């Protein structure tokens, strides 16, 4: 197995080491947070001192999709100049976005289709291990110290399981893959989806699952794409309604939004509703430049202090990616960020690997309306690694007109 793994890596030693570190990061990000810092520092040094990797990185930044993401990171750095936060906090906020560097790094080293699929298998393997442990905890076979949420929290676990289920589904219909792996992936799909519906309770996982299901229907049934996508979404929605746990969570969410300003009890979506309204006020006060890097919580306090009870709590994250970016880095920062995502979405689709990256981007973008997954520790790394790897060796839409689908 180790020999087969090595065969999928690039023959150049430096590139192979970089690939291995990025794959290891994909594993470590789920639990070993300190190890992630070590891995990424090693990656930075490797790209800095290895001539081949350095050249590939510079070449990748010339791609407008990569370049705009790096411009966005540079804008965050520039926004430190007008932030009211202490300088260490400004720098920490900018550094927290270092996960963006994984995008050009993965784009630089996962150019071969076999290497892209290796990323698939690593994510599937990690998610499968957590899924099995989660079920064992659910059945009481083992005692878990995280109440069935093996990865960070229920939302994160649902996102990782949904992404893995999507990749497994793509493998099950791929006739170039041997029968045994396809059967195994089919079994894993059942495990992942049932875990999301019955064990996990993260609403972000539900939404992510709906988006990737629509994507799978679009790819798997080329003659009836829209009908197939709609059918899978309707089927999943029905499953969400039938499952008592998911139905309860969804109904609870609507109730929390409706009672955000009347309830005496702190609620997850209630506080988010309040934070979204306060963020809109922040944006109206400094629309173009925002509060500056690290300045969100300081500016937010001005509006939160006008409320009472739990609604007056100070936050540094409104759990809405686009409002957060606009409030902290201004509409200029949001425009740069959205332009980068738009260019990525226009990438011509010539293979299932490219398609998988774009669908995971779409699912993350959808979750961005109620979470900050582009900048989150786990979900952010999942997205930027997968997107970079899947788009590697592709060209922007501006260089190649039209999108060739399956």
pLDDT at position 201 = 66
pLDDT at position 100 = 98
Residues 6+ apart with CB under 8 A from 242: none
pLDDT at position 150 = 61
Torsion of Cα atoms, 217 then 219 then 223 then 229, to 10°: 20
pLDDT at position 7 = 65
Q: Helices 352-367 and 154-172: crossing angle, nearest 10°?
A: 160
pLDDT at position 339 = 98
pLDDT at position 402 = 47
Answer yes or no: are the C-beta atoms of 322 and 372 closer than 8 Å. Answer: no
Residue appearing with tokens 């300003």: 261
CA 119 from chain centre, in angstroms, equals: 15
Mean pLDDT by 10 residues, the chain (406 residues): 62 95 96 94 98 97 97 98 97 97 98 96 96 84 62 83 97 95 97 87 86 97 95 90 78 83 84 92 96 96 89 91 98 98 96 98 96 95 98 80 45
Degrees to nearest 5, angle at CA 156 with 226 and 208: 5
pLDDT at position 142 = 72
In whole angstroms, how far apart are CA 274 and each of 268, 295, 300, 368? 10, 18, 11, 17
Answer yes or no: are the C-beta atoms of 286 and 294 closer than 8 Å. Answer: no
With 0-12 CB in 10 A as exposed, 13-18 as middle and 19+ as buried, what is 116? buried
pLDDT at position 275 = 93
CA torsion sign for 170, 173, 177, 180 is positive
pLDDT at position 378 = 94
pLDDT at position 258 = 85
Torsion of Cα atoms, 366 then 370 then 373 then 378, to 10°: -120
pLDDT at position 362 = 98
d(CA 371, CA 378): 13
Structure-token pair, residue 244: 């008592």
Residues 6+ apart with CB under 8 A from 261: 273, 274, 311
Q: Which residues of 274-310 are buried (b: 16+ CB within 10 A; e: fewer)?
A: bbbbbbbebbeebeebbbbbbbbbbbbeebbeeeeee
């Amino acid at each position: 197995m180790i020999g087969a793994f090595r065969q999928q890596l690039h023959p150049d030693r430096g590139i192979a080491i970089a690939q291995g570190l990025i794959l290891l990061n994909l594993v470590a990000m789920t639990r070993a947070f300190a190890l992630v810092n070590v891995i990424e520092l090693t990656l930075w040094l490797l790209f800095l001192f290895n001539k081949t990797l350095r050249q590939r990185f510079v070449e990748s930044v010339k791609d407008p999709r990569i370049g705009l993401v790096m411009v966005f990171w540079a804008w965050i750095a520039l926004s430190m100049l007008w932030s009211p936060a202490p300088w260490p906090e400004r720098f920490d906020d900018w550094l927290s976005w270092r996960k963006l560097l994984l995008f050009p790094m993965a784009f630089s080293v996962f150019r071969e289709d076999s290497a892209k699929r290796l990323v698939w298998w690593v994510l599937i393997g990690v998610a499968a291990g957590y899924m099995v442990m989660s079920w064992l905890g659910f059945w009481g076979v083992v005692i878990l110290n995280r109440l069935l949420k093996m990865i960070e929290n229920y939302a994160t676990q649902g996102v990782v399981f949904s992404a893995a289920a999507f990749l497994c589904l793509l493998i099950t219909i791929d006739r170039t893959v041997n029968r045994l792996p396809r059967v195994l992936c089919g079994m894993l799909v059942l495990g992942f989806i049932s875990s999301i519906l019955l064990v996990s309770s993260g609403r972000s996982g539900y939404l992510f699952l709906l988006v990737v299901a629509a994507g799978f229907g679009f790819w798997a049934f080329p003659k009836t794409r829209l009908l197939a996508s709609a059918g899978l979404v309707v089927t999943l929605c029905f499953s969400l309604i039938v499952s008592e746990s998911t139905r309860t969570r969804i109904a609870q969410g609507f109730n929390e939004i409706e009672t955000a300003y009347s309830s005496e009890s702190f609620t997850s979506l209630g506080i988010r509703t309040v934070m979204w309204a306060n963020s809109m006020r922040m944006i109206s006060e400094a629309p173009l430049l925002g509060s500056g890097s690290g300045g969100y919580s300081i500016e937010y306090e001005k509006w939160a202090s006008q409320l009472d009870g739990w609604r007056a709590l100070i936050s540094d994250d409104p759990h809405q990616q686009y409002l957060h970016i606009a409030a902290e880095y201004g509409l200029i920062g949001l425009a740069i960020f959205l332009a980068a995502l738009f260019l990525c979405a226009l990438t011509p689709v010539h293979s299932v690997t490219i398609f998988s990256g774009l669908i995971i981007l779409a699912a993350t973008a959808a979750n961005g309306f109620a979470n900050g997954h582009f900048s989150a520790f786990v979900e952010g790394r999942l997205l930027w690694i997968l997107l970079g790897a899947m788009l590697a060796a592709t060209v922007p839409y501006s260089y190649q007109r039209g999108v060739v689908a399956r």
